[in-house]
Amino acid sequence: MVLSNLETLFSASSNINHANPSGIGNCLFDVAEVSVGQHFYWQLGDYQVHGQVLLTSWVVFAIIATLSILGNSKLKVETPEGLQNLTEYITEFVRDLAKTQIGEEEYLTWVPFLGTIFLFIFVSNWSGALFPWRLIELPNGELAAPTNDINTTVALALLTSIAYFYAGLRKKGIGYFKRYVEPAAFLLPINILEDFTKPLSLSFRLFGNILADELVVGVLIALVPLVVPIPLMLLGLFTSAIQALVFATLAGAYIGESLEGH
């Protein structure tokens, strides 16, 4: 099944049916949706969505919620044990990351956002490396990590863009836009282009790395199913964690940049 899907992996498709294809909303939907490879579609009203992405995303949410509840249901202040140690370590890690990238004055406000982004990407990436998603057969397409779908990574990148615009506008008001003409007015087009390239680089970097990792492991498992893929799977776990860290670090850096004075 992996090899058959590889044949159609990079064929872009626009298999979205709408009741009113001439409407403005549907045109925007066509532009927003990107299809790479085959998908299992669900019909929601007039639109079709990638059902396999929703399924795996719910699994990721369930894992994060379960670990959070189990690790924090019976908190021990003096001697943390078990999952509480893990949750406290992750919290401290995200706080240190936010403090480094955003600064001591503003970082606490953005710890929940950066923590959510980091945990979702981390668990999503590891689910693609550890879970045998492809053993579950679908009528069309196949299950994979949520971050294996470019629409997921683009959504995360756009959330990051909204976050740093919000941070800058909340602190500086309309004066935030002065950054586009500093240090010189002729830099206006370049500064505007930079804000467009930030979400593009965030989304395609994450999508490309996760897709490539799952493709390589999938092909090797199909060709040499025993010992050879194991080192690459371990390497995939490492690179998946790095990708989550890189995304969260860049998100914090962009927010910190929007908050700093010019």
Give me the pLDDT at residue 251, please. 94
Give me the pLDDT at residue 184, please. 75
**Dihedral angle over CA of 63, 57, 158, 86, nearest 10:** 10
Give me the pLDDT at residue 112, please. 94
3-state secondary structure the chain: CHHHHHCCCCCEECCCCCCCCCCHHHHHHHHHCCEECCCCEEEECCEEEEHHHHHHHHHHHHHHHHHHHHHHCCCCCCCCCCHHHHHHHHHHHHHHHHHHHHCCCCHHHHHHHHHHHHHHHHHHHHHHHHCCHHHCECCCCECCCHHHCHHHHHHHHHHHHHHHHHHHHHHHHHHHHHHHHCCCHHHHHHHHHHHHHHHHHHHHHHHHHHHHHHHHHHHHHHHCCCCCHHHHHHHHHHHHHHHHHHHHHHHHHHHHHHHCCC
Is 185's pLDDT higher than 80?
no
Q: How many other CB atoms are there within 10 angstroms of residue 224's CB atom?
A: 10
Is 9's pLDDT higher than 60?
no
Q: In this predicted model, what pLDDT tens digit does every residue of 14-69 receive, in sequence order? A: 333 434 444 544 554 554 555 555 667 777 777 777 778 888 899 999 999 999 99
Percent of all residues in the chain with a pLDDT value above 90, rounded to a whole number = 26
Q: In this predicted model, what pLDDT tens digit does every residue of 157-177 receive, in sequence order? A: 999 999 999 998 888 888 888
On average, the pLDDT of the chain sits at 79
Residue of 104, 154, 92, 113 lying closest to 252 (CA atoms): 113
CA dist 241 and 222 (Å) reads: 25
Domain ranges of the chain: 52-259
Higher pLDDT, 215 or 149: 149
Give me the pLDDT at residue 39, please. 66
Listed ranges 4-8, 61-65, 192-196, 199-203; the one with the highest mean pLDDT: 61-65
